[in-house]
Amino acid sequence: MEELWKEVLAEVEIEVSKPIFLTFFKPTVLVSLESSVATIDAPTHITAEYIEKRYYSLIKKILDKKTLQNVSLIFTSAGGAGKSRKSTEGPLFAKDITNIAQKARPQRIRPDFTFDSLAVSESNQLAYTAALTVASNPGTKYNPLFLYGTVGVGKTHLMNSIANKVFDEHPENKIIYLTTEEFTNEVVEAIRDKTTAHLRKKFRNVDILLLDDVQFLAGKERVQEELFHTFNTLVDKGHQVALSSDRPPSEIKKIEARLASRFEGGLTVDIEPPDFELRAAILLIKSKKYGLNLSYESAKAVAERIVDTRALEGFLLRLSSVVSGDARELQLDDVLPVLGKTKQAPSFLHPDNIIETICSFYNIKSTQLKGAKRDSFLVGPRHICMFLLKEETRMTFVEIGNLLGGRDHTTVMHAVDKIREMITLSEKTKEEIQFIKRKIKENLLE
């Protein structure tokens, strides 16, 4: 049964998106195949129902081909797979974190933030794999590991997952996980109390140091110096360092070049925001945490409206307060009233929309905008384009530079800073940019 189901899943994986496969198909098990009736077990009722409704014919077609039979399918959620399921589980949300043995975990590490409790799709697959590799063999590969991405994409979850896996498998290892703000406070207190020797002993003798939100190191020279030497000591010893930020090292302002260089010395991974299908999957699985039973249609409606994963959980919390104790499957009519009170996450424009609008407004060609010429009638629009690309999209300075003719990221940074300053000093510039923004949105509606 196990070998046959592996072959079936291999073909299913080709037919469906990666988030759908990882979330709904990978945890399933073929329990039996008797008298041309296949019994397929899923971890939850929602998963079983979803697969049956949407993928019955696909699975049947594959099973018919593999078995040379006319197979009928039965879907269960009885958990009858036992050990078989454990071997096929992927990086999904933990089924029951309350049963995890409570140990004296290092300070601030959340026991529910594990690799098993993280939903994975194309947007975070590389980050997940890299973090898992680091946790499996600390200090031997990807040292340092630098994760970056916008708010709510799972950076902190992955950092905690590394700590939890290492602690569970090697509890003798000394692990420190903290935010940059907390590290800063410790450095300031050590300087004030003249206990810097104790501080260095604390941080330079750990097996794993995990530091969140390193963008807040900007401008803190003494803290950067302390981290620089701590970093060098740990890496030289073969001990693991993992860092997270909302931007890549090259885009962190007011940070020492030597420190930024150290950050880039290992593996740097960009975590993109979750796509629609992954958001819907997150809702369906996390709803169980709040005692909710969401229909797939209602989960889709919420996923279309809410982009940020933290906001998704906030929505589930509000919904649970409204329908507390209601065990039935919640439909669109149940979620829409709560969804209507939820602020929609800001949408992000496609770069082409911005470039086309700017070229039209200034009566120039996109080839001129992206070209090497620095004529006065091109420089201003080009700088405004760089500014709007940074403000209205999720592009990095490097990506913007590459898009606009292969320009260096420092050129883009300078242009963005210049336009920001001009907006505060020149009412004309401010009004011009506001008008261009309105034109971009009008063009999208046409």
Let me know whether 254 and 280 are in one domain: no
Let me know whether 206 and 264 are in one domain: yes
Let me know whether 378 and 317 are in one domain: no
DSSP letter string, 260-291: HHHHTTSEEEEPPPP-HHHHHHHHHHHGGGGT
Kindly state whether residue 307 falls inside one of the protein's structural domains: yes
Let me know whether 372 and 284 are in one domain: no
For residue 166, the one-letter residue type is V
Let me know whether 311 and 425 are in one domain: no
| Cis peptide leading into residue 249 (ω within 30°) | no
Let me know whether 147 and 224 are in one domain: yes
Query: 15 forms bridges with which residues in the sheet?
Result: none
Q: Is 52 helix (H, G, I), strand (E, B) or coil?
A: helix
80 alpha carbon, distance to own chain's centre: 32
DSSP letter string, 376-424: HHHHHHHHHHHHHHHHHS---HHHHHHHTTS--HHHHHHHHHHHHHHHH
Q: State residue 237's pLDDT score.
A: 93
Q: How many domains does the chain have?
A: 4
CB within 8 Å of 312: residues ≥ 6 apart:
279, 282, 283, 286, 302, 303, 306
Q: State residue 5's pLDDT score.
A: 94
Place of tokens 């405004």: 384
Query: 245 forms bridges with which residues in the sheet?
Result: 148
Alpha helices in 323-365 (DSSP H): 332-339, 351-362
Let me know whether 143 and 231 are in one domain: yes
Residue 159 in tokens: 């950092």
Let me know whether 169 and 248 are in one domain: yes
Q: State residue 349's pLDDT score.
A: 65
DSSP letter string, 163-220: HHHHHHH-TTS-EEEEEHHHHHHHHHHHHHHT-HHHHHHHHTT-SEEEEE-GGGGTT-
Kindly state whether residue 126 falls inside one of the protein's structural domains: yes
Kindly state whether residue 205 falls inside one of the protein's structural domains: yes
Let me know whether 263 and 357 are in one domain: no
C-alpha gyration radius of the chain: 26
What is the distance between the alpha carbons of residues 394 and 348, in angstroms, rounded to a whole number? 7
Of all residues in the chain, the percent with pLDDT exceeding 70 is 89
Any idea what the CATH number is for the domain that residue 292 is in? 1.10.8
Let me know whether 289 and 436 are in one domain: no
- From 56, 88, 120, the end of a domain falls on 88
Any idea what the CATH number is for the domain that residue 35 is in? 3.30.300.180
Kindly state whether residue 281 falls inside one of the protein's structural domains: yes
Kindly state whether residue 242 falls inside one of the protein's structural domains: yes
Let me know whether 247 and 127 are in one domain: yes
- From 270, 303, 331, the end of a domain falls on 270
What is the distance between the alpha carbons of residues 294 and 288, in angstroms, rounded to a whole number? 9
Residue 178 in tokens: 């903290």
- From 270, 287, 315, the end of a domain falls on 270
Q: State residue 231's pLDDT score.
A: 95
Kindly state whether residue 306 falls inside one of the protein's structural domains: yes
pTM of the model: 0.56
Any idea what the CATH number is for the domain that residue 149 is in? 3.40.50.300
Q: State residue 100's pLDDT score.
A: 38
Kindly state whether residue 10 falls inside one of the protein's structural domains: yes
Binned average pLDDT, 10 residues per bin, the chain of 446 residues? 92 80 84 88 77 85 90 75 39 39 68 82 83 92 90 87 92 91 91 91 94 90 94 95 91 88 91 79 80 85 80 84 76 83 55 88 89 89 93 81 86 90 84 84 64
Q: Which domain holds residue 401?
A: 351-445
Tell me the per-residue pLDDT of 36-84, one tens digit each, with 9 for 90 and over.
Answer: 888 998 877 767 777 887 788 899 999 999 999 888 888 887 654 433 3
Query: 29 forms bridges with which residues in the sheet?
Result: 41
Q: State residue 89's pLDDT score.
A: 39
Neighbours of 400 (CB within 10 A): 24
Q: State residue 446's pLDDT score.
A: 53
Kindly state whether residue 436 falls inside one of the protein's structural domains: yes
Neighbours of 13 (CB within 10 A): 15
Any idea what the CATH number is for the domain that residue 372 is in? 1.10.1750.10
Let me know whether 156 and 72 are in one domain: no
